[in-house]
Amino acid sequence: MKEPSVRVPRSVWRSESASAGMTTGARSIPEETAIAFTFNTASYAVMMATPQDLEDFAVGFALTEGVVDSQDAIDTIDVVEEDTGIELRIWLKAKDAAEFLGRRRKIAGPTGCGLCGVESLNEAMRPPPTVGQGKILSPEEIMTAVNSLAAHQELNRETRAVHAAGFWDPARGLIAVREDVGRHNALDKLAGACVRSGGTAAQGIVVLTSRVSVEMVQKSAMIGAPLIVAVSAPTALAVRMAESCGMTLAAIARKDGFEVFTHPHRITGASKSDVA
């Protein structure tokens, strides 16, 4: 199986360099490969992704895309490396396979694209499930969750080119982190990791290094996350979607604070104004 990063030669120019001209050396960059999803031999999607945590990716993608309602619908997963990429062969149990084949669709997903190839506006704007109450957390706990993520971003520390999604539990801290060149892929991998470990996202925080677009809200809601926090800003549609499904959306998290856009009641002392 391919490694998640490779070292490549490059030349470097720095304006503050004492010596004139270019220097040479090598840099680690993330691997990107085509990942094909098939369900009971039926083609479903091709995503450009980092080739690691692929079984987590298979389970998380199946759940957040609504192909299955639970991990129990999946019988087995085969990871097959081919010359042109990697195929994730997901075998559904008989009843679930029959339901899937009746509504299958084909999409093609470039890096970072979560809605490419969706066949209708209704599919793109599918309402996510309403999330549960979850826990009431303090601003200090939110900041602890955000600040804990960087130390576990091993691939990004090596390459400076990938997104991360993590799950932080108030009792146990940061319990899972997944990285990928695509932000949606990182979240799918995190979803799969949580489900495969027997947990849910219902009692903690999903932490994102990316902006919050509408599909990030949809995917988080599919695994029951009542609160997500991101280092970048949300889109207006993401805010409306989070509001409608009952999710607390905090974003623009910096060293000195963060901003809350929806359902502030899960954060002590929060209101519709900024938290900092």
Distance CA 236, CA 262 (A): 11
Is residue 145 classed exposed, middle or buried when 0-12, 13-18 and 19+ CB atoms within 10 A define those classes?
buried
Put the strands of the sheet holding 227-230 in their side by side order.
Answer: 173-180, 163-169, 205-208, 227-230, 248-254, 257-262
Distance CA 228, CA 205 (A): 5
Q: Which residues are catalytic?
A: 113
Of 44, 87, 83, nearest in space to 62 by CA? 44
CA dihedral angle for residue 49, residue 50, residue 51, residue 54, rounded to 10 degrees: -70
Token pair listed for 126 = 């599918």
